[in-house]
Copies of this chain bind each other. A is one copy, B any other.
Amino acid sequence: MSEILHVMGAPADEATAADLFNAPLRRVRRGQVLFHEGAPAEAIYVVRFGGFKTLRVAADGYEQVLAFSAPGDVIGFDALAAGKHPTMSVALEDSGVHALPLGGLDALRQRLRAFDHALQIAISRQLARTADVAELMAAVAAEVRLARFLVQLSARMAERGLSARRLRLTMSRRDIASYMGVAHETVSRSLGALIGMGCVEVHNRDIEILDPARLRECASCTRGASDEGSTHAPRLHVASAGVPAAE
């Protein structure tokens, strides 16, 4: 359990007590399903190593990827509300997770305050990522979406102390396309565009960010960005809905 706390980013102070609760490591091989859509909620999962994609399958078979999870992330918490999983999760590579049965979750949270805190933080972080998803799928050019995706990925790598410049994509282009809300051919083409701009270098699923600044600039553009100087025209009719608080 102390390992769970550690991977979740919590101080391992209460580690000794933590070990009283032993959640075994469950291995999930690449392509294997962690839980199916509609399955009864039995546990939440803390990713120890590897990675997962969480998705929903539409009636017509279309796969909508909702999130990619990395070590330290919590998966399956969204099943609490309805009692069953609204989504399914699949391992993108050989992975390991700690399954925390819902039955004992409350007791665990009450007795292990450090774990409770770590869980709240993890969930909060996940909630904040909704903004990232929306940012990605917002009405902007496809290259911009891809640039944002890479920036986000890079940032999350950095968070975990890994290289922010060298990314290894564990997911397929199709997964990325679904996540970004575009056709998978568009991902290829957009990647080509970023390569042409000198932002990145791509070898299969290995991506190297050559020019982080330019990539970020491209990601921040609301419109199609093939700008090469530093001349970005920020003019835009700001929807002035928000009214400053006045009392």
Contact = CB atoms under 8 A, between A and B. Distances in A.
A127 B123 contact: yes
A163 B188 CA distance: 46
Contacts of A20: none
A104 interface: no
Interface string A163-201: 000000000101100100111000000000000000000
Given A66-B130, A134-B133, A139-B181, A60 B234 contact: yes
A241 B61 contact: no
Contacts of A242: 31, 33, 63, 88, 90
Given A66-B130, A130-B78, A139-B182, A175 B241 contact: yes
Interface in A199-247: 220-222, 234, 236, 238-239, 241-246
- How many copies of the shown chain assemble into the complex? 2
A127 B32 contact: no
A125 interface: yes
B220 A58 contact: yes
Interface residues of A, number: 62
Interface of A: 31-33, 56, 58-64, 66-67, 77-82, 86-88, 90, 110, 120-131, 133-135, 137-139, 172, 174-175, 178, 181-183, 220-222, 234, 236, 238-239, 241-246
Q: Give 7 closest A-B pairs by Cβ, nearest first.
A: A80-B124, A137-B137, A61-B238, A31-B243, A81-B125, A81-B124, A78-B127
18 contacts: A56-B134, A59-B220, A59-B234, A60-B234, A62-B138, A62-B239, A63-B238, A64-B135, A66-B131, A78-B128, A78-B131, A80-B120, A86-B131, A87-B131, A110-B110, A138-B178, A139-B183, A178-B239
